[in-house]
Structure 1
């Protein structure tokens, strides 16, 4: 099996958006209202990624299995002023058939190394409180929940994100 990772370009925005939509439909089943997941378009994230990549707001990395894109991670400077000089993993998704193959680990390490070279000693990300698989993955990689919460609403359902942090103190992979 040939696996490679490369930085995404504007030509990849449709591919990234499709990966995200398919992942959402699987990973968030039973968490996000089914009506929203059923109506989620594969092009939902196209304009966001066009903006982020075109304006160097975020870096996106795609992972390929045998030349087929199967996942993406997007990261950059933290958006939260409380975490000045931190990096933030904005989003991270794999196609459902590629969960638990080690690809998430490879993408995460690529992002962490890149953030370190860009001067970010620490980083954080947000995870849906009910997404136990993702929380377990991040915890196994040294992330710690700091109990910050952010709420949003999708189709009249209140969803809570919790912040996970990774510092050079609690994780050697950033050191």
Structure 2
């Protein structure tokens, strides 16, 4: 067999190019075929490359672990500062602490009370979501997404859609008929996202939310999940 020194070439292509061709198939159909099964949560779930991502991006959605606590906390703080600017006082947002949230996430991920997943791009966590059975008594058979955030540097790249669709697929597999999410009434960008994902605003669902020393109003969206059939 021919040997090639690290960084060398064989038949006119570098080792790096060969690895890239293997990891990142050329066509969209091949990128879909490159999706793989990952064991996690209560079922394995399929990960695919999305057309919205750049050609050299490998995306993976997986269960969060305690090792992700610091990165999740960084995204949590950065996304709040980006999404809630104008809804919360600047001083409140600046006082958000990555260290405190890392402690909170370390505790949650050590003994999870709900499902927590992260989305990686090229091996770096760029977003996360938390979901489980709904907390509201009026939707006893529903599931609920209690948090979904991306690093602001990754907005408008299809990651939120990929994460949402994967959560919906997992919950459909668990035979939940309905998914709900609460969102700050003034968070217009998040509301547009949920509406684009097919969410319907619940009439008369408004309630107050208290956090970080402020009180804001929330509204609820609901999403019908498809039946798996027999």
Shared fold, TM over 0.5: yes
Q: Is the 8 A contact 1:32 1:154 kept in 2?
A: no
Provide the residue aligned with 1:22 in structure 2.
78
Any idea what SS the aligned residue of 2:86 has? coil
- Counterparts of 1:6 and 1:130 in 2: how far apart (Å)? 31
Question: Once the 2 structures are TM-superposed, how far is the Cα of residue 53 of structure 1 from its aligned partner?
Answer: 3.7
1:142 aligns with 2:142: no
2:16 corresponding residue in structure 1: none
Root-mean-square deviation over aligned CA pairs: 1.9
Separation in 1 of the partners of 2:212 and 2:162?
Answer: 34
In structure 2, what is the equivalent of residue 152 of structure 1?
A: 209
CA deviations 1:15-68 (Å, max 9, x no partner) are 212111110011111112211100001134345434544444211111111111
Match of residue 95 from structure 1:
151
Task: Kindly indicate whether the alpha-carbon contact (under 8 Å) linking 1:70 and 1:98 is maintained by their aligned counterparts in 2.
Answer: yes
- State the SS of the aligned residue for 2:94: helix
Secondary structure of residue in 1 paired with 2:141: coil
Counterparts of residues 73-92 of structure 1 (less than 5 Å): 73-92=129-148
Query: Taking structure 1 as reference, are residues 44 and 118 closer, same or farther at Cα in structure 2, changes over 3 Å only?
Result: farther
Contact 1:78 1:88 in 2 (8 A): yes
Distance 1:143 1:44 in 2: 33
Are the structure 2 counterparts of residues 49 and 86 from structure 1 closer, same or farther at C-alpha, using a change threshold of 3 Å? Answer: farther
Q: Would the alpha carbon gap of residues 157 and 56 (structure 1) be closer, same or farther in structure 2, given more than 3 Å must change?
A: closer
Residue 66 of structure 1 pairs with residue 122 of structure 2: yes
- Tell me, yes or no, if the aligned pair for 1:8 and 1:61 is still in contact at 8 Å: yes
Unaligned 5+ segments in structure 2 are: 1-56
Count of residue pairs the alignment pairs up:
171
| Correspondence for 1:165 | 222
- 3-state SS of the aligned residue for 1:36? helix
- Larger-gyration structure (1/2): 2
SS of alignment partner, residue 105 of structure 2: helix
Q: Distance in 2 between the 1:119 and 1:51 partners?
A: 29
Deviation at 1:13, TM superposition (A): 1.8
Query: Deviations 1:121-153 (Å, cap 9, x if unpaired)?
Result: 111001111111110010011111103012134
Higher strand proportion (structure 1 or 2): 1
Deviations 1:63-106, CA, capped at 9 Å, x for gaps = 11111111001101111121112100000000001000000000
For residues 139 and 82 of structure 2, the distance between their equivalents in structure 1, rounded to whole angstroms, comes to: 31
Aligned counterpart in structure 2 of residue 2 of structure 1, from 58, 68, 82: 58
Contact kept, 8 Å, 1:36 with 1:154, in 2: the verdict is: no
